[in-house]
A and B are shown apart, each in its own frame.
Chain A
């Protein structure tokens, strides 16, 4: 039995991707199991799905995937250190990203320009973001089930309704554009950016002990605002920011990227041309 962890953000089709891939393996004669991480989904918040497949036997395991053979990062941003730590030694890491995953570790890395493929095929979310999930699946099939592209196409057609055709094209492109590298360009070992804070002991009653400023939800963002020279510091962006992440300090606007989720309201409400722009979050 092989186990896979798929990671991404709420709204990127991570759960659907795990189901399509399960369907693909099943069409190729495998026993499969696909399930999401059970928690309240928030747009942009980290989310996981799991996949198990086995050539010979039905899968009876009923607990979450704790270690995996394959880690698939659907998001354009790199997978979290915690996810990477779940990879078994020698496992496969498939990253949706034009840039390399620049870290050393005991795993093989493959990459696919999933978001680029999605943009090219006009596969966009309701919010206008490229949906690279199926392109990434094309790459996953190339690596794990090389004769399975037809099965993937069938699964996409069966599960995506009117959105199927552009996604079939994306699957093919993902399959074609997948590249693997066995040596890693950087010598930087992959280490958690910061250790999670120690958990307080459980008090007798479930009453809060601290406030949400310990949650750096800025990590959810795919894009983020950049202030440009034309900004006249009118403060409208701060007025409408749902996070309270924009402030006027010493005559200039300041963005707190610890909390900015990159929604783009600031850009939309800004009355000045060339005062604010959205850019992709640097890796």
Chain B
């Protein structure tokens, strides 16, 4: 571990200090490692980040400042995947097609307003890396429910008296159904998770076509917990199987980490104010849904083990 860690912490961060993320921003940790791993995997390749309306529109920097050591193109909410396709194609026409074009889109943009466009870019198998920066609600506007908001969660538009019904959209299965070359979930809650995270980014960097990376990012103001807990909460999300670490490589599903002694999901939910009203039957139902999804993933892994179900 020491060598790996030494190398990683020596990397120059392509997300510069002085960025405008909230204190303790989980997605900022993800961004640092995503860009770091991408650059490490393909040192000679430039990066263009395409960012739809989100917290990252602000974090990217108020003019005349940029918070990034890579190009950043800000787009309207719904069109990032289409715009990234346009950029990739145009760069190709200029002989610069080697650059990675990356969408960094939130759960609102990806699950909701930009969904048709994300789906279309995947269906066209555009040569893009699409990162779903999932903090499970519209955080930039102040915590409203999105298609990525989990069952039972409080948001300002699903108040405690009328909390979120139904489960968050299973975007992993939806995107995998497009038959894209690579899909993976990413979490940065511990050193092993981070190794898995960066290995998946490395794998994605070496492939072509539409690669979908789903990164869980903890949000202190939106999830309601002390800022220092952003990493530990993500670790618990993985250990409780709330957020399974998986990949779908050429149609083959693989669970990349199996908690030996899975935590009850309450050990994850209980860390956050957004779930503080959940107990009894409702909590049990969430646990049941988490278990059912895990079983489904096990079956998908088993079913696709020998050969890809899709190409």
Contact = CB atoms under 8 A, between A and B. Distances in A.
A244 B63 contact: no
A242 B13 CA distance: 10
B24 A217 contact: no
B275 to A, nearest CB: 12
Given A127-B220, A212-B61, A239-B8, A217 B25 contact: no
A195 interface: no
Nearest to B66: A208
Contacts of B225: 126-127
B290 interface: no
Given A42-B58, A221-B23, A265-B230, A215 B18 contact: yes
A44 to B, nearest CB: 4
Nearest to A271: B191
B83 to A, nearest CB: 16
Interface residues of A, number: 51
B17 A212 contact: yes
Interface in A14-67: 40-45
Nearest to B57: A40
A201 to B, nearest CB: 10
Contacts of A240: 29, 188, 231
B226 interface: yes
Interface string B214-252: 000000110011111111100000000000000000000
A264 interface: yes
B228 A126 contact: no
Contacts of A244: 13, 15-17, 32
Nearest to A261: B23
A269 B191 CA distance: 10
B115 to A, nearest CB: 24
A211 B67 contact: yes
A200 interface: yes
Contacts of B68: 211
Nearest to B230: A265
A119 to B, nearest CB: 14
B69 interface: yes
A227 interface: no
B281 interface: no
A234 B9 CA distance: 10
A213 B220 CA distance: 24
A235 B2 CA distance: 9
A73 interface: no
Given A235-B5, A245-B17, A215 B65 contact: yes
A141 interface: no
Contacts of A278: 228
Interface string A240-253: 11111101100000
A193 interface: no
Contact of B25 (A128, A208, A242): A242
B20 interface: yes
Nearest to A238: B9
A248 B9 contact: yes
B65 A214 contact: yes
Given A208-B66, A211-B16, A240-B29, A42 B8 contact: no
Interface in B3-21: 5-6, 8-10, 13, 15-21
A44 B231 contact: no
Contact of A220 (B23, B67, B72): B23
Given A208-B64, A242-B21, A127 B16 contact: no
B219 to A, nearest CB: 9
B42 interface: no
Contact of B18 (A42, A208, A259): A259
A210 interface: yes
B187 interface: no
Q: Which of A235, A240, A262 has the most CB of B within 10 A?
A: A240
A68 interface: no
B230 A213 contact: no
A11 interface: yes
Interface of A: 10-11, 40-45, 126-129, 200, 206, 208-217, 220-221, 234-236, 238-245, 247-248, 256, 258-259, 261-265, 267-269, 278
Instruction: List the 9 closest pairs (A to B, CB-CB), nearest first.
Output: A264-B228, A263-B24, A43-B22, A259-B17, A212-B18, A215-B18, A242-B28, A126-B224, A208-B66
